[in-house]
Amino acid sequence: MFVDEVDIEIAAGHGGRGAMSFRREKFIPRGGPDGGNGGPGGSVYLLASDHINTLVNFRFHPEHHAEDGKPGSGSNRTGSTGNDLILEVPIGTLVYAQEIDPEATSATAPEREWSLFADLAEPGQRVLAAKGGKGGLGNAFYATSTNRAPRKSQPGLPGQALKLRLHLKLLADVGLVGYPNAGKSTLISRISAAKPKIADYPFTTLTPNLGVVLMRDERSFVVADVPGLIEGAHTGHGLGDRFLKHLERTKVLIVLVDVSGLSGRAPADDLDVLRKELALFDADLGSKPQLVAANKMDAATDETLVASLETRARDLGLPFYRISAVAGTGLQPLLEAAWTVLAEARAAQKATLDLSSTESV
């Protein structure tokens, strides 16, 4: 099951109570206070892991609590620290947070806004989500020259408690966009080791697929295939609107258009609809560099359909490629073009980061 949105609650451990204790040993009269401090509670961390690619585990386990700190004891012994809790999330998870008021009930708690807490975009990236509570002080801490037998200690403090909203946005360099049955799944299976479900009926792809494309000279990039788009997808028609967010991190889009004529639609119109849906969903997504791939050339029987699509792409200033994902023809020029755009985007991003780091120094 692919789950890319989920709400969970986390709580760090409660600090242990400080001890109230006095030294009682034979031959040692008037033993003083020796109550130790309580141990701090465990904290909750989020860790970006490349071993998982869905949030499904959180769907069935929405509450997570780190271990409480242990109480202090006599002989000035400090309680042990509660164990930290590390929650693994897929790479590309956006974390939104909302504080929990422990004294408020569900009826009286005010509606709080969600704020972006973390963007776990790098493998092994780890963030502190909720800090454990401090341990309470034992009565030995309060001993002074004038108060030699303090009868005072502290309870531990509660750890932080948060509601987290986890949004997964897959990390891919190149995104495949097209109508249902345009051949996106066939293409990703051809250019990578991904094995998506392929069938001759609409909406075969129900969840995003990722594949790694290996090219010559040890070049590689990640490509994402999302469920097909139809007109009105940005308003909820079909499945595409739900998964378009997984293309927001891509650097270039390949717009796949069926030119076989079997769909009964004009390929040039398909291109216009797809570009419109991308722009209506998110302006930044619609403005990403795009390559147009006329797919199913092996089954194309009307050259005028292909020519009209090529003309429309040229008018829009978009590179145009004729391919057949099934036959494997025309794929290398398309991949090389995608790599060129991707390399330029990576270089521009690196230059921006270098400039910002220089200015901060």
- Collapsing DSSP to helix, strand or coil, 291 comes out as strand
The residue among 186, 166, 164, 184 whose CA lies nearest residue 175 is: 184
- The pLDDT of residue 236 is 58
**Digit-coded pLDDT (tens) for 248-299:** 889 999 999 999 988 888 999 999 999 998 898 889 989 999 999 999 999 9
- The pLDDT of residue 199 is 46
CA gap 37, 181 in Å, rounded: 66
Q: Which domains does the chain have, with CATH numbers?
A: 1-168 (2.70.210.12), 174-356 (3.40.50.300)
- Collapsing DSSP to helix, strand or coil, 8 comes out as strand
- Work out the burial of residue 166: count CB atoms within 10 Å of its CB; fewer than 13 is exposed, 13-18 middle, 19 or more buried: buried
Q: Is the pLDDT of residue 15 over 70?
A: yes
Cα–Cα distances in Å, from 272 out to 154, 253, 257, 265, 269? 68, 14, 11, 12, 5
| Residue 196: band (very low, low, confident or very high) from pLDDT cuts 50, 70, 90 | low
Q: Which of 192-196, 268-272, 321-325, 357-361 has the lowest mean pLDDT?
A: 357-361
- Work out the burial of residue 96: count CB atoms within 10 Å of its CB; fewer than 13 is exposed, 13-18 middle, 19 or more buried: middle
Q: Chain-centre distance of CA 95, in angstroms?
A: 8
| Residue 245: band (very low, low, confident or very high) from pLDDT cuts 50, 70, 90 | confident
Q: What is the mean pLDDT of residues 290-311?
A: 94
Q: Which of 20-29, 88-97, 346-355 has the lowest mean pLDDT?
A: 346-355
Q: How many C-beta atoms lie closer than 10 Å to residue 272's C-beta?
A: 14
Q: Token pair for residue 217?
A: 């000279």
The residue among 254, 253, 227 whose CA lies nearest residue 241 is: 227
The single residue listed with the structure tokens 């092996």 is 298
Q: Is the pLDDT of residue 109 over 80?
A: no
Q: What is the mean pLDDT of residues 334-354?
A: 85
Q: Is the pLDDT of residue 74 over 70?
A: yes
Q: Compute the mean pLDDT over every residue in the chain, rounded to the nearest whole number.
A: 85
Cβ neighbors of 299 (< 8 A, separation 6 or more) are 260, 262, 324
Q: Is the pLDDT of residue 126 over 90?
A: yes
- Collapsing DSSP to helix, strand or coil, 326 comes out as coil
The residue among 245, 195, 238 whose CA lies nearest residue 92 is: 245
Q: Is the pLDDT of residue 202 over 70?
A: no
Q: What is the mean pLDDT of residues 7-30?
A: 87
CA gap 249, 227 in Å, rounded: 17
CA atoms within 13 A on the CB side of 91: 12
Q: Chain-centre distance of CA 326, in angstroms?
A: 32
Q: Chain-centre distance of CA 37, in angstroms?
A: 39
- The pLDDT of residue 315 is 95
| pTM greater than 0.75 (yes/no) | no
- The pLDDT of residue 203 is 45
Q: Which helix (H) or strand (E) holds 355?
A: helix 331-360
Whether 25 contacts 45, CB under 8 Å: no
- The pLDDT of residue 46 is 96
